[in-house]
Copies of this chain bind each other. A is one copy, B any other.
């Protein structure tokens, strides 16, 4: 079994109004220097498979249900328990900053 993280964004050539709204709001809130903001979905789930079987399952699941392949693209990776965005820990930490 693997824990998989899937990131979904609108295709780069499409306008992302929500990202644009965040980008416009940030300077007024005191956070300058942020550009090209894109926002989408993040999923984390356990899948009972490994290797090629896992890759095939993720692809089928994404293309067939989780994303809209007409306007969205996704990227996935296998994560460890420590890499979960909802890691039971206290403070958030950078993975490789």
Contacts and interface: CB of A to CB of B under 8 A. Distances in A.
Contacts of A94: 55, 58, 76-78
Chain A contact residues: helix, strand, loop or mixed: mixed
A67 to B, nearest CB: 9
B92 A83 contact: no
A94 B56 CA distance: 11
B74 A92 contact: yes
Nearest to A97: B78
Contacts of A96: 77-78
Interface of A: 2-3, 5, 7-12, 19, 22-23, 25-26, 29-49, 51, 54-55, 57-62, 64-66, 73-78, 83-88, 92-97
